[in-house]
Amino acid sequence: MKPREKLSFIGVPMDLGGGLRGVDMGPSALRIAGIEEAVNGLGFAFEDLGNVPVPRPERRQPRNEKARFLTEIAHCCARVRRQVERALDEGSMPLIVGGDHSIAAGSIAGVSSWYHKRKEKIGLIWVDAHGDMNTPETTESGNIHGMPLAAALGYGAPELTGLGDLTPMVSPENTVLVGVHSIDDGEREMIHKSGIKAFAMRDIDKHGIHAVMEEAIAIATRGTAGFHLSFDIDGCDPVAAPGVGTPVDGGLTTREAHIIMEDSALSQAMVALDLTEINPIFDTCNKTAELARELTLSALGKRVL
């Protein structure tokens, strides 16, 4: 697969999907960290498509406490889908920057639908501390940022599962969860029920991140046109990424996170990238956005030698 030589930045200042404010500033934080100049420095063209409009939560009341702000999130994800498809139409790789991880329901809908129109399918590698496999029936919080992976696999609210041209958006046999180390009982059951491959931090500790990524990429590219990489920055240990809304100790080291991106680049099979849950309110000197910038460069093929 020929790598795309242009990156389209799609900001999604979504903070309706979680319980804490601040992730709406994630796209701005990454821009301030110099993402455009850094990408240009690698020889890639860079297009900033601006921010997808998102309603402010203080002006809304959730109608359903088991799926808070579902209607607003679904409408926003539909806009994300259109922006993603536009980028792919123009021969660009979409970089979708959140905002909370609920936005991935829209980005995956866009990528999977674009390839579906060409009679192809995609794989999915989901990097996260959490499973994001809840549904309105299993959730303990009602926060939709804990539901998008389930939605991509066809489980949950129809407003989310039906965002794309096909349901499920991705096949479980081509879907991999990497780095999980904080899940609830409902998610654990759903992971087993769905049949996706999941690598917990224990697996990474035992086998090493490179071996895990080799297997993950093999799964995600088996019979597909490539894979969508959805990277929640809270999958990194808080030492590396303090600026997230739901930090969990024991996550990926900086080097492990870079290897995920480097191996994705070397595969030449990554077709889109999400970076979510950057929260400047909890950050130190924009450290987390700067990490996200450097991870993006690794995903585009930056090398030391």
Q: Where are the alpha helices (DSSP H) in the chain?
A: 26-32, 35-41, 70-89, 104-116, 148-152, 158-161, 185-194, 201-207, 209-221, 254-267, 287-299
Active site residue 128: yes
Q: Identify the bridge partners of residue 175 per DSSP, sorted by sequence position.
A: 124
- Residue pair 139/258 in contact by the 8 Å Cβ criterion: no
Active site residue 101: yes
Residue of 232, 237, 263, 283 marked catalytic: 232
Q: Where are the alpha helices (DSSP H) in 125-253?
A: 148-152, 158-161, 185-194, 201-207, 209-221
Active site residue 132: yes
Residue of 145, 181, 228, 258 marked catalytic: 145
Q: In terms of Cα–Cα distance, which of 115, 301, 117, 84 is closest to 225?
A: 115
Phi first, then psi: give them for residue 149, nearest 5 degrees.
-70, -40
- Residue pair 39/125 in contact by the 8 Å Cβ criterion: no
Active site residue 130: yes
Residue of 130, 181, 228, 258 marked catalytic: 130
Residue of 15, 72, 128, 263 marked catalytic: 128
Helix axes 209-221, 254-267, angle to 10 degrees: 30
Residue of 24, 72, 132, 159 marked catalytic: 132
Active site residue 145: yes
Residue of 15, 24, 159, 234 marked catalytic: 234
Distance of CA 11 to the CA centre of its chain: 13
The tokens of 7 are what?
Answer: 């990156």
Active site residue 185: no
Active site residue 249: no
Tell me which residues are annotated as active site. 101, 128, 130, 132, 145, 232, 234, 277
